[in-house]
Amino acid sequence: MLLYTLKRLLYVTPVAFGVSVVCFLLVHLAPGDPLSAVLPADATQQTIDEMRAAYGFDKPLPVQYLIWLWHVLHGDLGTSIATGRPVAAEVGRAVVNSLILAAVATAIGFTFGTLFGFVAGYHRNSAADRAASALSVFGVSVPHYWLGMVMVIVFSATLGWLPPTGAGPDGSGNWRPDLDHLRYLILPAVTMSVIPTGIIARTVRALVADILSQDFVEALRAKGMDERGVFRHVVRNAAPTALAIMGLQLGYLLGGSILIETVFAWPGTGFLLNAAIFQRDLPLLQGSILVLAMFFVALNLLVDVMQTALDPRIERA
Amino acid sequence: MSASAAIASTGGVRTNEARTAPAVDVADLRVAFGKVQVVDGVDLALERGQALALIGESGSGKSVTLRALLRLFPEGRSRIEGRIHVAGRDVQALTRRQLADFRGRDVSMIFQEPLLAFDPVYTVGRQITEAILRHERVSKEDARRRALALFERVRIPSPERRLDNYPHEMSGGMRQRAMIALALACRPQVLLADEPTTALDATVQIQVLLLLRELQRDLGLTIVLVTHDLGAAVEVADRIAVMYAGKIVETGTARQVVLDPHHPYTIGLLRSRAEGALAKGARLQTIPGSPPDLAARPPGCPFAPRCFLAEHRCHGEMPPAREIAPGHRVACWHADEASVAYRVGPTPVRAAEPASPGPPGRPSEQGV
């Protein structure tokens, strides 16, 4: 198990390298000059050249990449063009906020998703199955920014129960685990959890139905296992896949929540990316994309290792 | 229908049945899935310590008959009628709770494909101790010791290590031995085996069959073996019951059925075995046609459309089971002609043709 984990860690290195290249190039593929956004329109050619040299944009791309990589490896993601603050600090704070939001949303999604999935998988083609399926289709297909706005209208504007935007009463953008800040988390987290709920419910339903149709379930009943005993086996067989889906969902939510973070003005990575794109803040964009991509890589690694721990066939086969 | 009468009459009448009754006593068993009558009036009786082989081709209802002995069907999707007494218990009368206690303790089952019959994510040892702990109040350590003894009993090499194997880490033959160990974990009286050798290599098949035979003798097990392999049936069974389209068409001791078959279907099965037909240039004999659609069962003998002896009556009237020798019962209007046809010679089917309605050579002999 330990050996396997080390081996997987080794495999991650080339993947991470590839990711860094793509992150770097992706931003350079985009049209437009990053400096034009910060420089005044009447800046002289000399000022432009000086700025280019200061940010290193005058060197050939491979050299730029190596310099950038060197700094990244030392924990330096550069300086934001728009704010002048270090990218690492900006991204770090945003990642923490996004992580909190994504983790809570995934936890809600996993709880309800597995619940609906098990009920539907156990009672296929019953009314409960159809209700659960309808709910999950709704979860996957409803536009989330729209759902977010509806939530704001209902729970903030009309009922006045919860704050509509921001991460806390002081507006600092630093979320803290206390009751005041928790109230700010509820609306975005619930809105966001609709996605993983739907996806996990559908996956678990298919999983459970498949497991229940396998021969070993009949064999379990033949040796006298009652429904509770059979259920334990079903859970244990469904767990690796369900956990993998949950891990991937967490990854998607970490990076793919631009719309929800924007609707709720949640100071996470989505919000930050949105700002970086509109301000053509190249270092900030590169830094946040890189961090998010690395999160995905790490998450995949974690899911792999967890699956191996749960399903003996993966490692040994 | 006589099935309900059979259930009613066995309620409280036989109280001391557990000791003296046959291990398996099934009368007029009918199993239907929806509108499809898969098992249609099966009678089975088996003394303690005997082995019975149910043989027949795919879809003949043999596996369903076997599962009916444990009521091992999804609830609500099947209808089981008739008398089912196994190991002294009235299976039809058991509650859900009692049924779960009964399964694996009094009667257990081994399956065709042991790789699929074990849960892939638990070790084999754990799955055996799970069964022991389910039925008996013993410590985990004792259960593990029992599992180890069982592995030794079924002769799995380096049993201590093998207990910690996952199913996919074992070979097919070893898995089936482990399956047998699991089935014997709670010392059942009756062992049900659903095609236990079908998924195995030919060399391993015989080992598993010999093991079953040995266990049956040593432990006084009653075995019901479902197979489509006559060779396997002869190897293990004292008695053989031949099933066709949900009915038992011939039953008797293994010798009676194999050496002195009286039903044209049994004869067809015996003739279609490769062993007898592999002389150079000889054709492998087959039974023409295919089994009837059980959803649209024709009246009369279900085998009549494929039978070399069938005549008018066979198509209209189901022949009752008739005892032609002690313990040897056949359901055929032409059992004696069939028997003569079998004994006449290497191609007795030709000799019997005057009795068959079809054109010469066609109905019973067809090259592959």
pLDDT 10s digits, B147-205: 999 999 999 999 999 999 999 999 989 999 999 999 999 999 999 999 998 888 888 88
pLDDT for A33 equals 66
Closest-CA residue of B relative to A237 is: B121
> Do the chains contact at A236 and B119, CB–CB below 8 Å?
yes
Whether residue B157 is found in the same domain as residue B300: no
Q: Which residues pair with B328 in a beta bridge?
A: B325
Closest alpha carbon to B121 in A120, A241, A201 = A241
**Domain membership of residue B289 as a residue range:** 261-365
CA atoms within 13 A on the CB side of B149: 11
In a domain, B250, yes or no: no
Q: Which amino acid is at A297?
A: V
In a domain, B256, yes or no: no
| pLDDT at position B282 over 70 | no
Number of domains in chain B: 2
Whether residue B152 is found in the same domain as residue B270: no
B175 at A interface, C-beta within 8 A: no
pLDDT 10s digits, A272-307: 888 888 887 888 888 888 888 888 888 788 878 877
> Do the chains contact at A223 and B108, CB–CB below 8 Å?
yes
Among residues B173, B208, B243, the one where a domain terminates is: B243
Whether residue B190 is found in the same domain as residue B288: no
Closest-CA residue of B relative to A307 is: B121
> Do the chains contact at B135 and A216, CB–CB below 8 Å?
no
Whether residue B334 is found in the same domain as residue B239: no
In a domain, B254, yes or no: no
CB < 8 Å from B in window 103-122 of A? none
Tokens in use for B221?
Answer: 């097990």
In terms of Cβ atoms closer than 10 Å to its own Cβ (0-12, 13-18, 19+), residue B288 is middle
**Per-position DSSP letters for B219-272, written without gaps between them:** HT-EEEEEES-HHHHHHH-SEEEEEETTEEEEEEEHHHHHHS--SHHHHHHHHT
Q: Which of A224, A233, A310 sits opposite B119 (nearest CB)?
A: A233
Whether residue B154 is found in the same domain as residue B300: no
Q: Find the mean pLDDT for residues A92-114.
A: 88
Question: How many angstroms separate the CA of residue A128 from the nearest CA in chain B?
Answer: 18
A90 at B interface, C-beta within 8 A: no
pLDDT for B281 equals 65
* Helix B124-135 with B172-184: angle, nearest 10 deg: 10
- The residue of B121, B127, B129 whose CB has the most chain A CBs within 10 angstroms, and thus the best one to mutate to test that interface, is B121
In a domain, B47, yes or no: yes
Run of H or E residues at B30 = strand B24-33
Whether residue B209 is found in the same domain as residue B334: no
Question: How many angstroms separate the CA of residue A80 from the nearest CA in chain B?
Answer: 50
Closest-CA residue of A relative to B131 is: A223
Q: Which amino acid is at B301?
A: C
Whether residue B234 is found in the same domain as residue B280: no
pLDDT 10s digits, A132-186: 888 888 888 888 888 888 888 888 778 878 777 777 666 666 777 777 777 788 8
In a domain, B358, yes or no: yes
> Do the chains contact at B108 and A222, CB–CB below 8 Å?
yes
Cβ-based contacts of A223 with chain B (< 8 Å): 103-104, 108-109, 130-131, 134, 182-183, 185
Tokens 């069962």, residue located: B297
What does pTM read for this prediction? Answer: 0.75
> Do the chains contact at B121 and A311, CB–CB below 8 Å?
yes
A74 at B interface, C-beta within 8 A: no
Q: How far is CA B235 from CA A93, A146, B209, B228, B239, in A?
A: 75, 71, 7, 13, 11
pLDDT-wise least confident of A29-43, B40-54, B100-114 = A29-43
What confidence tier does B110 reach under pLDDT thresholds 50, 70, 90? Answer: very high
Whether residue B269 is found in the same domain as residue B147: no
A138 at B interface, C-beta within 8 A: no
Closest alpha carbon to B186 in B87, B40, B300, B306 = B87
Q: Sheet harboring B36-46: ordered strands across?
A: B36-46, B24-33, B79-86, B89-90
In a domain, B74, yes or no: yes
Q: Which amino acid is at A82?
A: A
Question: How many angstroms separate the CA of residue B263 from the nearest CA in chain A?
Answer: 34
Cβ-based contacts of B108 with chain A (< 8 Å): 222-223
B365 at A interface, C-beta within 8 A: no
Whether residue B128 is found in the same domain as residue B232: yes
DSSP label of A173: S
Give phi and psi for A39, each to the nearest 5: -80, 145
> Strands B247-253, B222-227: parallel, antiparallel or unpaired by DSSP?
unpaired
> Do the chains contact at B103 and A310, CB–CB below 8 Å?
no
Whether residue B39 is found in the same domain as residue B104: yes
Contact B243, B249 (CB under 8 A): yes
A2 at B interface, C-beta within 8 A: no
In a domain, B113, yes or no: yes
Whether residue B288 is found in the same domain as residue B183: no
> Do the chains contact at B131 and A215, CB–CB below 8 Å?
no
A210 at B interface, C-beta within 8 A: no
Q: Taking CB atoms and an 8 Å cut-off, how many pairs form between chains A and B?
A: 81
Q: Cα(B139)–Cα(B133) distance, rounded to whole angstroms?
A: 8
B137 at A interface, C-beta within 8 A: no
- The residue of A223, A226, A308, A315 whose CB has the most chain B CBs within 10 angstroms, and thus the best one to mutate to test that interface, is A223
What confidence tier does A68 reach under pLDDT thresholds 50, 70, 90? Answer: confident
pLDDT-wise least confident of A90-99, A181-190, B175-184, B340-349 = B340-349
Give phi and psi for B351, each to the nearest 5: -65, -25
N- to C-terminal Cα separation, chain A? 13
In a domain, B249, yes or no: no
ipTM: 0.81
Q: Which residues pair with B55 in a beta bridge?
A: B227, B242
pLDDT 10s digits, B115-148: 999 999 999 999 999 999 999 999 999 999 999 9
Whether residue B233 is found in the same domain as residue B267: no
pLDDT 10s digits, B286-299: 788 888 888 878 78
> Do the chains contact at B108 and A216, CB–CB below 8 Å?
no
Q: Which residues pair with B223 in a beta bridge?
A: B51, B191
What confidence tier does B353 reach under pLDDT thresholds 50, 70, 90? Answer: very low
Question: How many angstroms separate the CA of residue A204 from the nearest CA in chain B?
Answer: 17
Kindly report the CATH number assigned to the domain that includes residue B22: 3.40.50.300
Cβ-based contacts of B100 with chain A (< 8 Å): 221, 224-226
